[in-house]
Amino acid sequence: KNQVEQSPQSLIILEGKNCTLQCNYTVSPFSNLRWYKQDTGRGPVSLTIMTFSENTKSNGRYTATLDADTKQSSLHITASQLSDSASYICVVPDGGSYIPTFGRGTSLIVHP
């Protein structure tokens, strides 16, 4: 069964600090992986997509990495802001279908 595991489950950091969220997957065949941000009370919104051939991609203060050999991805947030407080969800599509596999998410709280 395809699985997406995220760690940590929750994280509390001070404003201005950096943090890294992890995602391990066993989805096969693999073609790409997305990170979504879900603010409290809202639906998830895509942050970035990582394809099989990409190692690193930045989107402002967010940097995603992908190691397809070890089946791991990370999302690094630099100089955190209060608005970064949210749940971050790793999603990997099942290569042969329209059904993505969702991780449980990492809940990030940024304190002033």
Partner 1 sequence: NAGVTQTPKFRILKIGQSMTLQCTQDMNHNYMYWYRQDPGMGLKLIYYSVGAGITDKGEVPNGYNVSRSTTEDFPLRLELAAPSQTSVYFCASRGHGGGQLNNEQFFGPGTRLTVL
Given candidates 67, 104, 109, 111, which one binds partner 1 under the rule CB under 8 A? 104
Per DSSP, the chain holds a count of helices (H) and strands (E) of 0, 11
Burial of 72 (0-12, 13-18, 19+ CB in 10 A): middle
Residue 8 is a binding residue for partner 1 (CB under 8 A): no
Q: Closest separation between CB of residue 57 and partner 1, Å?
A: 13
Burial of 75 (0-12, 13-18, 19+ CB in 10 A): buried
Residue 13 is a binding residue for partner 1 (CB under 8 A): no
Residue 21 is a binding residue for partner 1 (CB under 8 A): no
8 preceded by a cis bond (ω within 30 of 0): yes
- State whether residue 32 is helix, strand or coil: strand
Q: What is the contact mask toward partner 1 in residues 58 to 97, using x (rule: CB under 8 A)?
A: -------------------------------x-x-x-x--
Interface positions with partner 1 (CB under 8 A): 9, 31-32, 34, 41-46, 49, 51, 89, 91, 93, 95, 98-100, 102-105
